[in-house]
Homo-oligomer: A and B are copies of this chain.
Amino acid sequence: MALPSTDTSRLDNTLAVIRTLRDQGPVARIDLGTLNGISSATVTSISAELLQQGLISERPPEAPRPTGRGRPKTLIELDPNAACVVCIKLSINEIQLVVGDFSGQVRHSEHHAVTTLALSADDLEALLEEKISAVCALQLKGFQRLAGICLAVQGVVSSQSGTIIWSPALSFRNAPISARLAERFHCSVLLENDANCIASVLAAQPDYADCPNLVVIMLGYGIGMSVLINGVPFLGANGSAAEFGHSKYQPDGALCACGRRGCIEAYASDYALYRAAADHLALPPGDSAHPSEQQMQALTQLALQGDSVAQEIYAEAGRALGVGIANVLALFNPDLVLITGSGVRGFDAMQAAMHSTLNEALVAELMGTTRIESCAWDRDMTCMGGIAMALNATDGETLLDSQAKSGSATCL
């Protein structure tokens, strides 16, 4: 009689099982029960369904069995080919496409140089369609479905409405990109800020498991930030929260790329550091408005080797960061502030000034127990985060889809 189920526990438990398998790899039924606080009888029932739907498979028992006594565990794992997701990272003059499988593994990655600032909204859409189609045609053999697409873009995006509100990589604004891609590829399209993707990956690392309130500051050409509250990215009303780079250091200070004055970014970003240095120091040639990695490394070297002009430039950047972080601590009181991004290359030259400014700015009660740490920028984890977020967002649909295909053939 009661058809529309109001009780979501079965769905919740099934999703929990899928996520545990994604995070931990192959797991036995009994452990899935313990890990998720459900009985093994329920796990049996859930895994039977998932098995029938083709979303998981039983791993054949291995030759070497280091298990002790008793019936050995039968490990269950996600079928990597049950679905896949694509993440596209959109940054200035470059787009990156990554394909991830249902188990969360990266299957393919490619980069394209594109003069993004020259694109119109239609151009961008056409370009994304083309690149996604191409990658699907080449890479998707064997996948049961394209579950979703994640667009990771620098700038202000509204995830809720799927609209790019403003991005430094684009010359147009307010582009409702998600809906159009969703229509084209018949899958859900997630629009995310790039910093939130990276922060999600970092937060999933065991080192930061005890920091549910995590702030990640990304230094680079510009300055971005992500605030995780209880592990989930804080977006604000329109998605423009956590714009640390445009919070203020000096009310009437240096000119920022945003057009206003005194933003933290106008002191501590690559372009700001290089701008302050260009007149006084001999640095490698190149576009001084968009300094190259080589140019920035040269500048950092000068500061670290004791050049007083370079040192003062980094010290001023450190003071700006110190004031900005003081405000972040006063307003968010996080467990940890993690400073990363390509700009951490110069962090050693900023650190002392940053900490002394911070300590001068805030009484101990407001510093609380917040740790301030930096994190080396080994590789760009944006797309890893995007893949993980896209999978998480689409598990429910994948489940429904496979139920429709296998289970209730009664519908036909």
Give me the interface of A with B, judged by CB distance under 8 Å: 6-7, 9, 37-38, 156, 165-166, 173, 213, 227, 229, 234-244, 246-251, 258-262, 319, 323, 326-328, 330-335, 357, 360-363, 365-366, 368-370
Q: Which 3 A-B pairs have the closest CB atoms?
A: A236-B333, A241-B333, A243-B330
Q: Which residue of B lies closest to A252 (CB)?
A: B360
CB pair B240 A333 closer than 8 Å: yes
Copies in the complex: 2
Q: Tell me whether chain A's interface is mostly helix, strand or loop, or mixed.
A: loop
A325 to B: closest C-beta gap in Å: 11
- Contact A369 to B238, CB < 8 A, known contacts A330-B243, A330-B244, A362-B246: yes
CB pair B251 A249 closer than 8 Å: yes
CB pair A332 B331 closer than 8 Å: yes
Q: Which residue of B lies closest to A238 (CB)?
A: B368
Which residues on B sit within 8 Å (CB–CB) of A7? Answer: 7, 9
A329 to B: closest C-beta gap in Å: 8
- Contact of A241 (CB < 8 Å), options: B250, B261, B332: B332
Which residues on B sit within 8 Å (CB–CB) of A259? Answer: 363
Q: Which residue of B lies closest to A174 (CB)?
A: B365
- Contact A326 to B236, CB < 8 A, known contacts A7-B9, A260-B362, A260-B363: no
Which residues on B sit within 8 Å (CB–CB) of A156? Answer: 365-366
Which residues on B sit within 8 Å (CB–CB) of A165? Answer: 365
CB pair A236 B334 closer than 8 Å: yes
Query: In the complex, what distance in Å separates the CA atom of A38 from the CA atom of B4?
Result: 12
Can you name 24 A-B pairs with beta carbons within 8 Å? A6-B38, A156-B366, A165-B365, A236-B334, A237-B334, A239-B333, A240-B333, A242-B333, A243-B333, A243-B366, A244-B331, A246-B330, A246-B362, A247-B326, A247-B327, A247-B331, A248-B327, A249-B251, A250-B251, A251-B323, A251-B357, A251-B361, A259-B363, A331-B331
- Contact A360 to B242, CB < 8 A, known contacts A251-B250, A365-B156: no
